[in-house]
Amino acid sequence: MVEPLIRVMTYGDIDFVMRLQELVGWGNTRADAERSLFYEPQGCFVASLGDVDVGIVNSFLYGDVGFIGNLIVVTETRGGGVGEALMKTAIDRLTRDGAGTIRLDGVLKAIPLYERLGFKGEYSSLRYSGVVVKAPHHSIEPLRKEDLDKVSELDRRFFGLDRALKLKRVQHDFPELCFKASKGGVIHGFIMAKTGTSNIRVGPWICDPKHGEYAEPLINALSSAVSGRKLWVGIPEQNKASVKIVTAKGFSQMPSSLRMSYGAHRKVENISGIFGIGAPDKG
């Protein structure tokens, strides 16, 4: 078996990244690929055999917890070790840079590979999708740049890690798709979304369960802003309140993924406040 050559991804690789994204149909856009490189310029990788590019993977670091996503290998070279080589590169990079725990959302076909590498299943990461209409959203306001410090603090309480850089970038790129629930200057919840190739992808959607009455108005505000379009949202299976909200809206359940971890398996999130994950490839 010929060992693939792994290199750090650059902006010049994005055309190749988009060809692979079209292959798997996950709905990621060119802007998604550019944001990944903005977040982690040394954490995204391309594999090649000879002079032919054959696969990609991304890795993201949140302190001592890493996340791996967007593992894609061209169809004709699958099963030949390219995916494993990419995964080992991402694991080595995250471990070297301080990650004791590494996590990912594994699609069904890839789970055997992840298990061979030492990943263990934690819980199902559910997927829902549905066309939305305008709906009541009392006490919900647009999320502004000046709210981001408070939003990041709330996010850390439930996501468990600091992803302020990502929150700031999403709000910058999609201000019309970001909303907050606040009272007396205290933010109790927020929702962000990004434009995909065929839908609006929710995430993160965070709400303090002590103020759970804001969770539905938050997604209603987003729904009202994009009425008539399809929303996509990923939900940890344990957040029954979120599942109840989206099923009541008529969302259809799609194939789920498996949240998995490697290494110390440190659990950091408080799922009761995670009504929608940030993104399957970034946590």
What is the pLDDT averaged over residues 47-69?
Answer: 96
Higher pLDDT, 179 or 265: 179
135: confidence class by pLDDT, cuts 50, 70, 90:
very high
pLDDT digits (tens, 9 = 90+) for 225-248: 999 999 999 999 999 999 999 999
Query: Which secondary-structure segment (H or E) carries 258?
Result: strand 252-263
Identify the pLDDT of residue 27: 87
* pLDDT > 70 fraction of the chain, expressed in percent and rounded: 100
Q: Report DSSP state, residue 267.
A: -
pLDDT in tens, 67-101: 999 999 999 888 889 999 999 999 999 999 999 99
Whether a cis peptide bond, with omega within 30° of 0, leads into 142 is no
At 1, the pLDDT band (50, 70, 90 cuts) reads low
| pLDDT of 120 higher than 80 | yes
pTM score above 0.85: yes
Phi and psi at residue 169, in whole multiples of 5°? -70, -40
Burial class (CB in 10 A: 0-12, 13-18, 19+), 98: exposed
Tokens of 84: 């494993």
pLDDT at residue 125 in the model: 96
* pLDDT value of residue 55: 97
What is the SS3 assignment for 117?
coil
What is the structure's pLDDT at 77? Answer: 86
pLDDT digits 0-9 by tens, 182-207: 999 999 999 999 999 999 999 999 99
Q: If 0-12 CB within 10 Å is exposed, 13-18 middle and 19+ buried, where does residue 117 land?
A: middle
Strand-pair category, 200-207 with 5-8: unpaired
User: Distance between CA atoms of 215 and 113, rounded to whole angstroms?
Assistant: 36
pLDDT at 274 over 70: yes
pLDDT at 2 over 80: no
